[in-house]
Amino acid sequence: MIECKNISYSYQDFQLNEIKVLEDISFQIEKNEKVLLLGINGSGKSTLLKLLNGLIYPKKGEYLFEKNLVNKSYLKKNSKTFRKNVSLQMQDPSAMLFNPTVYDEIAFGLKHFGFDNIEDRVHHYAKTFSIESILNSATTALSGGQKQKVLLASLLCIEPEVLLLDEPTAHLDPPTTGWLVEFLESLDITAIVSTHNISLGRELAQRAIVIGANHKIVFDGAIDALLEDMPTLIKAQLVHQHKHAHDKVEHKHYHLHSWN
C-alpha cells in the first residue's frame, strides 16, 4: 500500500544552511499493517510522516501510494481522494484545529468529504473519545489532551485507510495513553505511529522501523527482535542508563522502560 524508495530529504534553515533530515529511506507497508516508527528527537520521524501525507516531497527517491507516484501533479489531480484516505495527526494538534467549536471541528471533515448523517456521526465519535461534554466548547479553550482527542476524532470520523500519528501520546496522561493504544489496536486500519517511547511498541504494532541519529533506517523488522537487539537499541539511542539498585547492589545498565 505504501512504498518508499531511497528517499532523502533536506531543507534550508533560516540562515540558509542545508539541513539533512532523511537519508536513503526505503520500506514497504502492507494494507492494515501497523508499524511503529522509532527514533530520537530530530531523527526525522515527523518529516517522514509529512512526506507520507504528501505535505512535502522527497528531494531524492520516490514515494508510492497504492502504486501511484505521489508528487505535485498526482496530488493536484487526486487531492480529495488522497486527503480523505491518508490522515495525519501532527505533533502539535492546535496547528490542525481551526473551527469554532468541538462539534464544528469533527463535522468539518464529514461535510468537506460529503458524508451523510453528520450529526449522528459526530455524536458517535464524540462518545468513542469521551468528549461529548465539550462538544459546544471552543477548541481554543481546551487542554492539550482534549485537543489531541478532538483531533483524533476529527480525523478518524472520515474513515481514512491510512492513519499517520506523530507522537500521539505526547499530550495524554497514562490512563488515556492506555486507552488509545487499545483503541488503535482494535481498528482495521493501516497505521504508522511515531514515538520515542518504545514501551508503547508491543501492544500497538508487530513491526518497528527505527531511524537512527544519522537519519537512515537502522532497523526494520519485528518489534520482538528489536527488543532483543541491544546494540541497535543503543545505536538508535532508544534506551537509557541510570544508577539504581537491585537487592541493595547499586549498578548501572541499559534500560528499556520509559520514564513516564
Partner 1 sequence: MHIPDGFISPQTYIPATAISAVLLARAYKKIDLDVEKVPFIAGVSALSFVMMLIVIPFPGGTTMHLSGVAIISLLFGPWVSFSAISLVLLIQALIFGEGGITSYPVNILAIAFVGSFSAHYAYKILLRFSQNIALFFAGWASIFFSSALVALVLGIQPIIASVGETPLYFPFGLSVTIPSVVIPHIFLGIVEGLVTLSGVKFLKKQFKSVFDA
Partner 2 sequence: MHDRTWFILYIFTVVALGFIHKEWVMLLSIIITLALASKARWKILLKVFIVIGLFNFTISLSYIAYSFFVPVDIFALLLINLRAFAITLLTFTVLHRINLHKVFEFSPLLSILYGFTYAQIYLLKNMLYDYYDGLKSRGATLKSSIKKKNLQPLLTSLFTTMLDKSSQQSMGLRSRGLIDD
For partner 1, the closer CB: 80 or 127: 80
Restricted to residues 126-145, the positions that interact with partner 2 (CB under 8 A) are: 138-140
Could you tell me if 76 and 197 are in contact, meaning their C-beta atoms sit under 8 angstroms apart? no
Cell 499517520, located at residue: 164
Q: Which stretch binds partner 1 (CB under 8 A): 8-16, 33-41, 162-170, 237-245?
A: 8-16
259 binds partner 1 (CB under 8 A): no
Query: In sequence order, which residues have a C-beta less than 8 Å from that of residue 175 and are 6 or more positions away?
Result: none
14 binds partner 1 (CB under 8 A): yes
| Pick from 150, 164, 153, 209: nearest CA to 46 | 164
Residue 174 CB neighbours (<10 A): 9
DSSP per residue over 129-164, as a string?
TT-GGGTTSBGGGS-HHHHHHHHHHHHHTT--SEEE
Q: Which of 7, 13, 62, 134 binds partner 1 (CB under 8 A)?
A: 13
In angstroms, give the least distance from the CB of 77 to partner 2.
9
Q: Which of 108, 125, 129, 219 binds partner 2 (CB under 8 A)?
A: 108
Could you tell me if 30 and 43 are in contact, meaning their C-beta atoms sit under 8 angstroms apart? no
For partner 2, the closer CB: 82 or 219: 82
- Among partner 1, partner 2, none, the one that 254 touches (CB under a kind-dependent 5 to 8 A) is none
194 binds partner 2 (CB under 8 A): no
76 binds partner 1 (CB under 8 A): no
- Among partner 2, partner 1, none, the one that 58 touches (CB under a kind-dependent 5 to 8 A) is none
Q: How far apart are CA 35 and CA 167, in angstroms?
A: 13
Q: Which stretch binds partner 2 (CB under 8 A): 19-27, 108-116, 217-225, 249-257?
A: 108-116
Residues in contact with partner 2 by the rule CB under 8 A: 14, 50, 53-56, 72, 75-76, 79-80, 82-84, 87-88, 90, 92, 94-101, 104, 108-109, 112-113, 138-140, 154
Residues in contact with partner 1 by the rule CB under 8 A: 12-16
